[in-house]
Amino acid sequence: TRFINVASIGYDFFPWLSVTYRAGLDTYTDRRKQIAAISSTRNPTGLIFQDNIQYAEFTGDLLITAKKENIFLDKLNATLLVGQQTNQRKRNEQYVSAATLSQPGFYNTINAAVFTGSGETNYTRRLLGYYADLSLAYNNYLFLEGTARVDQSSTLPKGNRTFLYPSVSAGFVFTDAFNIDSDFFSYGKIRGNVAQVGRDADPFVLENYYVAGGSGNNVANYTFPFNGVVGFRPSATIGGGQNLKPEFTKSAEVGLNLGFFNNRLTVDATYFSTVSTNQILPVTLAGSTGYTSFYTNAGELTNKGLELLATLTPVRSAGGVTWDISANYTRLRNMVVSIYPGVTSSSIPGSSFIGSVPSYVVGQPYGVILGQKKATAPDGQYLINPRTGLWVTEQSAQVTANPNVKWQGGITNTLGYKGVTLSFLIDAIVGGDILSFTQAAYKSAGMLKETGVDRDQPRIIPGVIAVTNSDGTTSYRPNNIQVDAQSYWSNQGLQSDLNIYDGTH
């Protein structure tokens, strides 16, 4: 259930000065329930997991706007906006997990004999912003705009919770400036901007905190409270402390807008580049430290991209019939330049699967998946383990997939007649790897159709077996070791690079 409420009040004190206050409240309740029937594979005694989330976000903006025409120069117009924003977000989550159900099909926690876990998380975060925006327009063809914003965040240390970020943009309509009056070339504009954007931290990343204790896996586990005893342990992630700073993204953009045939054909082109620094990340730690990661300002991430948009109106009749065609193209490339001194890779929290971890890797695009790859011989054939007849896997984690797409685009057609429109879209995403954990799990469990084909027949995996010669050199012979279907498919479920697919669609 979600409610979004907005209210505003304003007053024009003078023809050139107005004041507006706008308040908005976004609230929702999210109730989730997960069940596992008695005799299910991983939860043979049954399972009930209930999760209730309540969220409320308030945003209040005070806006003071001043407008003046012919200021300092004839045809020079100015608009000044000064504002203050208050943003507060509150979230409460309560969950309970219960097992050992008494009656089949009755999924209520009172039907459970054992409560395996429960918890509650709360946070309130507040952000105060003060901003100004000055826009200048000369003769409606030369535009200049500058902005500045100062934020104060409750999630950052006192010494670093106030931060400033500005921007400057400009535009020049050269067809108007040079009085170009042509049916063929009807509009031309160049534009550009440079900007810096700041961002605060998530709640609870400054200090170390404790969580409910527990240990185990999908087969057997325990959590506190246990037998009436309450237990806690330190969180696996170390807080960033009082030195944590806001993260910043600097961007630069240039663009060109062209219109032809009285703007029945328009072309927009934009090239942009961004650099993100001081990112607030949990950097991976060695397990020997007793922790898994620590929060710090780390890393540099670059993004470069090209966006193209073309619009054509082949039909525009006096009778009210129109036909508009719009085509767009986007190409984005990003790269992890650095993470932290001595660190070349770190996992992205909350998004890993068994044996496959989306990660930051220096020199690679953001979000590449690290996992175990099948080892190969120098000629590219798979290496086979002579004892098992199965694939040999690399010992160290390697990049197995890149989820970033090569490009994406689409074509939209809009047909209109006297206010009635019909639109249809064809779009495409080219490239980008998809790791299917569903495929991996179903292969391992023998639940896919192909796992039942010839399941009683042995098979030989294509590949070679390494042989050490008497002189110490290595040669390779074709694999001739048979494996049964269960070994073949269950091993595929553990091989992340055997469950990666091209995301083009």
C-alpha dihedral (274, 280, 284, 285), degrees to nearest 10: 140
Residue 453 lies in a domain: no
- Whether residue 26 is contained in a domain is answered as yes
| pLDDT score of 233 | 85
Residues forming a β-bridge with 293: 237, 284
The answer to whether residue 276 is domain-embedded is no
Chain-centroid distance of CA 193 in Å reads 25
Residue 82: give the domain boundaries: 1-139
> Could you tell me the end-to-end alpha-carbon distance of the chain, in angstroms, rounded to an integer?
33
Segments of the chain with pLDDT less than 50: none
Residue 93 lies inside a defined structural domain of this protein: yes
Is the residue at 110 inside a domain?
yes
Cβ contact 184:175 at 8 Å:
no
**How does DSSP classify residue 30?**
E
- Structure-block tokens of residue 440: 């991996």
Diameter of the chain measured on Cα atoms: 97
Residue 388 backbone zone (phi > 0: left; psi -120 to 50: alpha; other: beta): alpha
SS3 state at 488: helix
**Number of domains forming the structure of the chain:** 1
CA 79/CA 84 separation, integer angstroms: 17
Domain presence at residue 500? no
- Residue 372 carries which DSSP code? P
Q: Which two tokens stand for residue 101?
A: 């159900």
| pLDDT averaged over every residue in the chain | 92
Residues in Cβ contact with 359 at an 8 Å cutoff, skipping those fewer than 6 apart: 345, 346, 347, 348, 367, 368, 369, 370
Is 91 part of a structural domain of the chain?
yes
436 neighbors 503 (Cβ within 8 angstroms)? no
| Burial class of residue 350 (count of CB atoms within 10 Å of its CB; 0-12, 13-18, 19+) | exposed
Please say whether the beta carbons of 284 and 293 come within 8 A. yes
Q: What are phi and psi of 177, to 5 degrees?
A: -65, -35
The model carries a pTM of 0.84
Structure tokens at 74: 């004839």
CA-based torsion, 177, 183, 184, 186: positive or negative: positive
pLDDT of residue 168: 99
| Position 2 in a domain | yes
Beta bridge partners of 162: 152
